[in-house]
Amino acid sequence: MSATTADTHVFDVREDNFEAEVLQASLTTPILVDFWATWCGPCKTLGPMLEKLAGEFNGAFRLAKVDVDKSQQLAAMFGIRSIPTVMLVKDGQIVDGFAGALPEGQLREFLQKHVQALDGAANDADVAPESPEEAINRLQQAIAAEPDQPELKLDLALALMRAGHADAAEAELSSLPANLATDARAVRLRSQLDLARALAGAPSLPELQQRVQADATDWAARDLLGVRLLLEGDATAGLDQFLVILEKARDWNDGQAKKRLLAAFTTLDDAELVGRYRRRMASLVF
């Protein structure tokens, strides 16, 4: 795919053309709005990926780029507090969005939830998503080229964690400046690391499942089973284990089940799932 092909689906937008080029245009074609700035390190990671996908999707959506320094009123109107922030506009309404530089695989998942691919558009069978190791390599090269962009180190820490390199991720996280230590992504990563540390030397998933089946009140095994399920991608099953402990043995290990649930909520992207389990936790606690 040529750069020219991608460029036909990517355009700059400001206050004077936002209504026509985004709101009105979204009545026929979904518009992905990327709020960015030239000084933003993560924007330099996310922007090229979004432009690449705009070309690969071949007109299934268009990418509107908003430089927040040049369009401060637009940024204020949409309540932009951090960049990059991305919003998807369909039928004149914001239907979804996210903040931060997601990996390519998650970007594809986000788009496929809302965008109907056109003939000739790329799909998962055509283009393999970026692997965690590829993301690590790309970010390491970006940091070497721009060592004064600490946001890239946070992106690298997240990529390392996705690849299973918890110690390396923790080292990158510890090196972040104070202003990034409280970033939502850093807080999430810290919770993931805390959960991963709990599995140091822990039994395998099948062994933990056997222990719980043999003794439903083996709270230590159930706790570790919940952590392992959560980190291995079965969030619902993992959260269910913590809820059982909370219901049957609320005070076990100084109320660890509640702590696990709160940490898990921080790590999960699924707002509907988190909301549902928060309500279930609250019904048991209060």
Answer yes or no: do 40 and 101 share one domain. Answer: yes
Tens-place pLDDT, residues 265-279: 988 877 788 889 999
Q: How confident is the model at residue 227 (pLDDT cuts 50, 70, 90)?
A: very high
96 & 185 share domain: no
Task: Please give the residue range of the domain that contains residue 258.
Answer: 205-285
Tell me the C-alpha to C-alpha distance, in Å, between residue 119 and each of 28, 122, 125, 282: 16, 9, 14, 47
- Among residues 114, 140, 160, the one where a domain terminates is 114
- Specify whether 171 is located in the same domain as 138: yes
| Number of independent structural domains in the chain | 3
Q: Are residues 80 and 172 both part of a single domain?
A: no
Could you tell me the two tokens for 128? Answer: 């393999």
Give the span between the Cα atoms of 1 and 76, in whole angstroms.
Answer: 35
pLDDT band at 129 (very low <50, low <70, confident <90, very high): low
pTM over 0.75: no
| The token pair that represents 216 in the structure block | 């439903």
Sign of CA dihedral 169, 170, 175, 180: positive
Determine which helix (DSSP H) or strand (DSSP E) holds 247, and give its type and residue range.
Answer: helix 235-248
Query: What pLDDT score was predicted for residue 214?
Result: 97
- Looking at the structure, tell me whether residues 141 and 186 fall in a common domain: yes
Domain-embedded: residue 126: no
Q: Tell me the C-alpha distance between 120 and 126, whole Å.
A: 10
Top pLDDT among 49 and 222 is at 222
- 120 neighbors 58 (Cβ within 8 angstroms): yes
Active-site positions?
Answer: 40, 43
Model confidence at 11, pLDDT cuts 50, 70, 90, reads very high
pLDDT at res. 117: 57
Report DSSP state, residue 79: T
Q: Whole-number mean pLDDT of the chain?
A: 85
Are 224 and 266 found together in one domain?
A: yes
Residue 169: CATH number of its domain? 1.25.40
**How much of the chain exceeds pLDDT 70, in percent?**
93
Q: 270: helix, coil or strand?
A: coil
Residue 15 lies in a domain: yes
| pLDDT tens figures, 78-96 | 888 888 899 999 888 888 8
Domain membership of residue 127 (yes or no) is no
Q: Are residues 214 and 160 in the same domain?
A: no
What's the CATH number where 46 sits? 3.40.30.10
Cα–Cα distance for residue pair 161/92, rounded to 1 Å: 37
Higher pLDDT, 201 or 217: 217
Whether 76 and 105 map to the same domain: the answer is yes
Q: What's the pLDDT at 7?
A: 59
- Answer yes or no: is 74 within a domain: yes
Give the Cα separation of 73 and 243 in Å (integer): 45
State whether 69 and 150 are in the same domain: no
Boundary residue ending a domain (173, 198, 223): 198
Q: Is residue 158 part of a domain?
A: yes
Where among 198, 216, 238 does a domain terminate? 198
Residue 124 lies in a domain: no
pLDDT in tens, 229-247: 998 888 999 999 999 999 9
Say if residue 211 is in the same domain as residue 149.
no
First vs last C-alpha separation in the chain: 57
pLDDT greater than 50 at residue 194: yes
Top-confidence residue, 141 or 221: 221
Q: What pLDDT is stored for residue 62 in this prediction?
A: 93
Q: Is residue 259 part of a domain?
A: yes
Residue 122 maps to a domain: no
